[in-house]
Structure 1
Amino acid sequence: MNQTLIQYFEWYLPSDGAHWRRTAGDAQHLAQLGFTGVWLPPAYKGAKGGADTGYAVYDLYDLGEFDQKGSVPTKYGTRAEYLAAIAALHQAGLAVYPDIVLNHRIGADETERVTVRRSDEADRTREIGGEEQIDAWTRFTFPGRGGQYSPFQWNWTHFNAVDWDNGGQRSAIFRFEGKPWERDVDKERGNFDYLMGANLDTKNPEVVEELDAFGAWYLQTTGADGFRLDAVKHIRFDFFTHWLERLRNLSGRPLFAVGEYWNGEVGMLTHYLDACGRVMHLFDVPLHYNFYRASTSGGNFDMRRIFEGTLTAARPCRAVTFVDNHDTQCGQALHSPVQSWFKPLCYALILLREAGLPCVFYGDYYGTGDGTQPPLQGVLDVLLRARKHCAYGEQTDYFDDYNIVGWTRAGDAAHPGSGLAAVLSDGPGGEKEMCMGVAFAGRGFYDALGGCPGRVVIGENGCARFPVGGGSVALWLPEDGALGRAK
């Protein structure tokens, strides 16, 4: 079966501590739709306790078990509920990929006096002024946990920078004296080692040892099947080579991994893949931006170029494709939401084609809590079923028109009744002549998405003209196939 992921959360989920229970209750449904893997949000306690989405990391070992930061549960629930959700997903045959955030720490328990030098926000390689001392939030003692699972406590020597001087009540990027930026990181802003909070110093062997211990503990505790890795471009490029290979050796399992390297230039993504030894997949950020630009171009985007400059085109076996995620939502740091009218086209492009491993966004399937994205459940159900049952066999592309593009999948013997024809237009509707192959001659096709009434009959030469409406996608399936009209 085709592999398909779902990001099972969005930024504006309610802070009701019920998400792990929702996850467990939805497990069988997700499996029936054809999902094979579930990306779960960060499960550990954040700086805002039960209101924290998990990216402001406080305690890696508190999965909703200890009274810290004003709550016992995390935003998503308790440790017991988290483990029960994973068990339910596993029972449904789904792989589980927790979100792992290692780069930064926020919400320290105490400050320490540290000698620093300020860095220019726009160019981190440029220093502003000389040495000075600040009160930095760098002491993490985790009094609520009391050393359970790990006695390790963090202090300033485990970090290389912070962005807040508590004594002077001022914000800036303060690099610790004697701790230069990592060189093998993304070059945005001169050097993008620093992102936020207390930034880990992965040159410190104590840091690496503790992260190794945490990874082993987390795997043993949760039984996770791999990871979504946050903000990998801010950590030296060979760190996850070490971390993942060690955990794979310890567990004896392949441990799928996908990293978030947020950069719209495909060359930066391929460079990272090569530098880290291709130990992970990466999200296809350039493809997301193509989708975003196409959706905001009013029908003036050249659809022939929708995959141009993408990881899907350059490294299809390493690309995880997506339309939107929690960071691209309205009001978030990487705000670039694809407009709703264009999303069915995007999902057809990632779910019904050969290249890339698609990831469906919870906020697109169920709608978002801020009300900006209505649920696309009806459309996605059809596309997901088609991916599960029909999207197999040789692919033939017809990306030969500015507005109307399409492709066919010829089906294969391993999936009886498979095969499809997809046509998309970001402008006026029309038709596109495409070939299914002579094996389909005389067979009728229907638009499973319902936008084009009637039927298409494949000619003796295996070809036909497939209609599509304006600004929409038509999914033509065999009437007598795996998802025929009566099915």
Structure 2
Amino acid sequence: MKTNKFYLLFLLGLALSFGSCSKEDDPQTEPKEEGSVEPPVEEPVAINLDNYNSGQKVMMQAFYWDVEPRFEWWNNLTEKVGGWADAGINRIWLPVATKGQSGGYSMGYDVSDYFDFGEYEQHGTVKTRFGSREELETLISTAHENEVEVIADIVINHNSGGGEEYNPYREEMTYTLFDEEHGNASGMFNRNYEYFYPNSESNYYDNSLFYPETNLDHHRAYVQDWLWKKDNSVAKYYKNVMGFDGWRFDYVKGFEPWVVKEWLNEVGGFAVAELWEGNATVLEDYVEKTGSGAFDFATFYKLDEAFDRHNDLTYLQKDMLWKTYPEKAVTFTANHDTEKDDNDENNISGGNKMKAYAFILTHPGYPTIFYSDYEHPAFQEEIKQLIKIHNSLATGDTEVLYVDEDEYIMKRTGNSENPGLILYISTAKNTKRRTLSSDWKNVTLYDYSDNSTYSPTSDENGTVTLEAPANGYSIWSITK
């Protein structure tokens, strides 16, 4: 019995010895012969967005309210416009470029002399708040050298800074005398009370408008001639002499749509109207009557409601101008008025602003970037990437794949030469994933916003599970 136990122990030790030898032969610890090593798993390779073109770029609103430094703004923009062009900007919208009643402090909306671009001594200054005429001309030429159009802000409703005179049609003194001695040093487009409402040809006036006593009467032939018809009219001088390429019409509620239509019929150019109206139907009616584009305030308000007022992304499905007139809808998330310090209601909060930019830079419409957002150190690189995505992949039909209070998923279908994209926005406190149908079959996807490191692969039917970071967004498309 002792001999048998010893023999059994010997066999057990021998078996353990062979087991130890096979462990050493494991390929994890001992390399195999050359040519037998399994290849490593390859990381997905993003496509080069520079190889794709959505057919549209974006506009920069190149100012904010009360810009600083005073008298140097045109020089500041001249230094920046080349970099903006490289980032994918193809138009810059300038502030009102002529002398206002507030002189060196004026943002131009209190327009006095339509032809003083910073060369006449009046209202206490030669330069406008933004600089001299020569500096403006340098900015415009620099923009054109970089294939960037320059958009003029046009105020043709109210005037300011004229001399006082008696207006018999109002039976009171009004500041409606504009000549070389009274707020119009250029001597071009001199005005008096006959060219404002009411006058000898019109009893109509609306005291609810800005500066109602200096609200120009566009029915008067003299006013039409000086604003758009004459060879040296405001429109033709700005276009042919100064080199402006298009128009942003300020406060169009102050005059009839036919004015814009006639202006554009006379001189053409890109045009966008400031019709501060959240009803998409009203905006649609305006672009139909004028032929002009319009700022898509309907989209702006829906973004505000979805992200800030109601925290409900289903608002992103409601009516917006881009849904019916994408070629006329100029979308935006902020402007000089919404970002004023005293504006607590009509704005999108900083914490939600990048999600709002992700929306307008992936959906149809012509997006506008606000200067202060782009130049903000915390936002600039993210906005640059969104512009790049917009200019490359944001094309094709739009389809909402899923929406609820805290998730919004939208697809741009692309075309035969462009894969398109899928936008996934989430306001949830945790990472979200959702399985949905795509147009991409058997392909690994990549988040081109760089907000997610997840790398899902679609199946043979295009079904794929996508991810959005907590209170953020992702933008998906194919890899190589």
Report the 3-state secondary structure (helix = DSSP H, G, I; strand = E; otherwise coil) of the residue aligned with 1:317: coil
What is the identity percentage for the equivalent residue pairs of Structure 1 and Structure 2? 26
Question: What are the Cα deviations for residues 424-480 of structure 1, in whole angstroms up to 9, with x where unaligned?
Answer: 013344122233324x523242x3334323322222322311111232111234443
Aligned to 2:437: 435
Contact kept in structure 2, 1:304 and 1:399, CA below 8 Å:
no
Contact kept in structure 2, 1:330 and 1:336, CA below 8 Å:
no
Code of the residue aligned with 1:434 in structure 2: it is L
**Structure 2 residue aligned with 1:140, among 178, 198, 222?**
178
Contact kept in structure 2, 1:231 and 1:261, CA below 8 Å:
yes
Looking at structure 1, the residues matched to 451 and 395 of structure 2 have their Cα atoms a distance apart, in angstroms, of 23
Give, in angstroms, the shift of residue 116 of structure 1. Answer: 5.0
**Structure 2 residue aligned with 1:13, among 67, 71, 74?**
67
Looking at structure 2, the residues matched to 426 and 264 of structure 1 have their Cα atoms a distance apart, in angstroms, of 23
Is 1:180 the equivalent of 2:208?
Answer: no
Aligned to 2:455: 455
Give, in angstroms, the shift of residue 377 of structure 1. Answer: 1.0
Indicate the structure with greater helix content: 2
**Structure 1 residue aligned with 2:256, among 232, 236, 251?**
236
Contact kept in structure 1, 2:98 and 2:128, CA below 8 Å:
yes
RMSD of aligned Cα (Å) = 2.5
In structure 2, relative to structure 1, the CA distance for the partners of 1:305 and 1:467 (3 Å cut) is same
Report the 3-state secondary structure (helix = DSSP H, G, I; strand = E; otherwise coil) of the residue aligned with 1:71: coil
Give, in angstroms, the shift of residue 307 of structure 1. Answer: 4.2
Give the structure-1-normalised TM-score: 0.80
Report the 3-state secondary structure (helix = DSSP H, G, I; strand = E; otherwise coil) of the residue aligned with 2:403: coil
**Structure 2 residue aligned with 1:87, among 128, 137, 141?**
141
Looking at structure 2, the residues matched to 404 and 313 of structure 1 have their Cα atoms a distance apart, in angstroms, of 20
Give, in angstroms, the shift of residue 315 of structure 1. Answer: 2.4
Code of the residue aligned with 1:71 in structure 2: it is T
Give the structure-2-normalised TM-score: 0.81
Aligned to 2:387: 384
Aligned to 2:411: 408
Looking at structure 2, the residues matched to 419 and 156 of structure 1 have their Cα atoms a distance apart, in angstroms, of 57
Aligned to 2:190: 153
Report the 3-state secondary structure (helix = DSSP H, G, I; strand = E; otherwise coil) of the residue aligned with 2:434: strand
Is 1:220 the equivalent of 2:234?
Answer: no
Contact kept in structure 2, 1:341 and 1:471, CA below 8 Å:
no
Aligned to 2:4: none
Aligned to 2:423: 422
In structure 2, relative to structure 1, the CA distance for the partners of 1:375 and 1:96 (3 Å cut) is farther
Structure 1, unaligned runs of 5 or more: 118-132, 161-174, 183-189, 249-254, 368-373, 481-487
Is 1:284 the equivalent of 2:284?
Answer: no
Is 1:398 the equivalent of 2:401?
Answer: yes
Q: How does 1:333-348 map to 2 (within 5 A)?
A: 336-348=346-358
Looking at structure 2, the residues matched to 197 and 22 of structure 1 have their Cα atoms a distance apart, in angstroms, of 36
Give, in angstroms, the shift of residue 177 of structure 1. Answer: 8.2
Looking at structure 2, the residues matched to 112 and 243 of structure 1 have their Cα atoms a distance apart, in angstroms, of 30
Aligned to 2:360: 350
Code of the residue aligned with 2:371 in structure 1: it is Y
Question: What are the Cα deviations for residues 302-327 of structure 1, in whole angstroms up to 9, with x where unaligned?
Answer: x2331412212232232111111111
**Structure 2 residue aligned with 1:308, among 298, 304, 318?**
318
Give, in angstroms, the shift of residue 26 of structure 1. Answer: 1.4
In structure 2, relative to structure 1, the CA distance for the partners of 1:334 and 1:54 (3 Å cut) is farther
Aligned to 1:267: 281
Question: What are the Cα deviations for residues 392-447 of structure 1, in whole angstroms up to 9, with x where unaligned?
Answer: 345442143232111233444545xx533210013344122233324x523242x3
Code of the residue aligned with 1:325 in structure 2: it is N
Is 1:4 the equivalent of 2:5?
Answer: no
In structure 2, relative to structure 1, the CA distance for the partners of 1:387 and 1:328 (3 Å cut) is same
Aligned to 1:101: 155
Contact kept in structure 1, 2:454 and 2:467, CA below 8 Å:
no
Contact kept in structure 2, 1:8 and 1:362, CA below 8 Å:
yes
Structure 2, unaligned runs of 5 or more: 1-54
Contact kept in structure 2, 1:407 and 1:434, CA below 8 Å:
no
Question: What are the Cα deviations for residues 243-272 of structure 1, in whole angstroms up to 9, with x where unaligned?
Answer: 221123xxxxxx111111111222222222
Aligned to 1:199: 215
Give, in angstroms, the shift of residue 329 of structure 1. Answer: 1.6
Looking at structure 1, the residues matched to 412 and 442 of structure 2 have their Cα atoms a distance apart, in angstroms, of 15
Report the 3-state secondary structure (helix = DSSP H, G, I; strand = E; otherwise coil) of the residue aligned with 2:358: helix
Give, in angstroms, the shift of residue 74 of structure 1. Answer: 1.0
Looking at structure 2, the residues matched to 333 and 209 of structure 1 have their Cα atoms a distance apart, in angstroms, of 38
Looking at structure 2, the residues matched to 294 and 340 of structure 1 have their Cα atoms a distance apart, in angstroms, of 14
Q: How many aligned residue pairs are there? A: 421
Code of the residue aligned with 1:462 in structure 2: it is G
Contact kept in structure 2, 1:4 and 1:359, CA below 8 Å:
yes
Indicate the structure with greater strand content: 1
Is 1:210 the equivalent of 2:226?
Answer: yes
Code of the residue aligned with 1:86 in structure 2: it is I
Contact kept in structure 1, 2:119 and 2:126, CA below 8 Å:
yes
In structure 2, relative to structure 1, the CA distance for the partners of 1:346 and 1:19 (3 Å cut) is same
Code of the residue aligned with 2:473 in structure 1: it is V
Aligned to 1:55: 109
**Structure 2 residue aligned with 1:256, among 265, 270, 277?**
270
Code of the residue aligned with 1:272 in structure 2: it is Y
Question: What are the Cα deviations for residues 118-173 of structure 1, in whole angstroms up to 9, with x where unaligned?
Answer: xxxxxxxxxxxxxxx3221111113399864x54311111111xxxxxxxxxxxxx
Contact kept in structure 1, 2:426 and 2:471, CA below 8 Å:
yes
**Structure 2 residue aligned with 1:319, among 322, 325, 329?**
329
Looking at structure 2, the residues matched to 310 and 192 of structure 1 have their Cα atoms a distance apart, in angstroms, of 28
Looking at structure 1, the residues matched to 145 and 213 of structure 2 have their Cα atoms a distance apart, in angstroms, of 38
State the structure with more CA Rg: 2
Report the 3-state secondary structure (helix = DSSP H, G, I; strand = E; otherwise coil) of the residue aligned with 1:104: coil
